[in-house]
Amino acid sequence: MTAITWVLAADGRRARIFETRGLALDLQQVEDIRNPALQAADSIDKGRDSFAKALASFLEESRLRHRFDRLRLAVEPEFLGALRERLSSETLKLVYEARSNEVSNVNVQDARR
């Protein structure tokens, strides 16, 4: 069976999830999640924290539904810590690479790098 890898490109405003199967670099976007609370939040930190919690919950549910086998994180430095704190230990075991960088607005060709 071919392993499914999800690539999460995120910051406190937006998270994009790309999927690839096996060793191919053919990334297909499967999710584009925006943080609606950030505009209404009293503070940016509070909005980021709630988005990290919601995103971690989405990833946990997706893991339980076997939507991915491996997870690669490319996340803004200020958001990476908040997200990692909220990921379950089982989901963290599937993370094979984590990079701190600004990539939520990248195009598919840039995400392959």
pLDDT for residue 37 = 72
Number of domains into which the chain is organized: 1
Q: What's the whole-model pTM score?
A: 0.81
Smallest CA-to-CA distance from 27 within 8, 52, 55, 1 is with 8
CA dist., res. 12 & res. 22, Å (int): 29
| Cβ-contact 24, 87 below 8 angstroms | no
CA dist., res. 68 & res. 50, Å (int): 23
For the chain, which residues score pLDDT lower than 70?
Answer: 38-45, 101-113
Q: Average model confidence (pLDDT) for the chain?
A: 85
In CATH, what number is assigned to the domain containing residue 64?
3.30.420.60
Query: What six digits make up the tokens of 8?
Result: 């999460």
pLDDT for residue 104 = 47
Q: Which residue range is the domain that position 85 belongs to? A: 4-111
| Cβ-contact 68, 6 below 8 angstroms | yes
pLDDT for residue 25 = 78
